[in-house]
């Protein structure tokens, strides 16, 4: 999983083939994984979580 500007979230099941998920126009700056949960953070304190890297 990787994140970027304008709410772009990129996911890959194998590290080679990537898909794009777009959420609202939030500037996302970092993503982490722990305790079976993905956490993406961005500008203005926005925090998004997902347990499957698809649904935020």
Is the model's pTM score more than 0.85? no
Spatial CA neighbour of 1 closest among 10, 54, 14: 10
pLDDT score, position 28 = 85
Task: Tell me: pLDDT of 53 over 80.
Answer: no
pLDDT score, position 35 = 94
pLDDT band for position 45 (cuts 50, 70, 90): confident
Distances in whole angstroms, Cα of residue 30 to Cα of each of 23, 34, 50, 56: 15, 14, 14, 14
pLDDT digits (tens, 9 = 90+) for 8-42: 888 888 889 988 887 776 788 889 999 999 998 88
């Amino acid at each position: 999983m990787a994140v970027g500007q304008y709410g772009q979230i990129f996911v890959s099941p194998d590290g080679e083939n990537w898909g794009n998920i777009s959420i609202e126009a939030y500037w996302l700056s970092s993503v982490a994984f722990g305790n079976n949960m993905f956490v993406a953070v961005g500008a203005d304190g926005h925090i998004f979580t997902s347990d499957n890297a698809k649904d935020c």
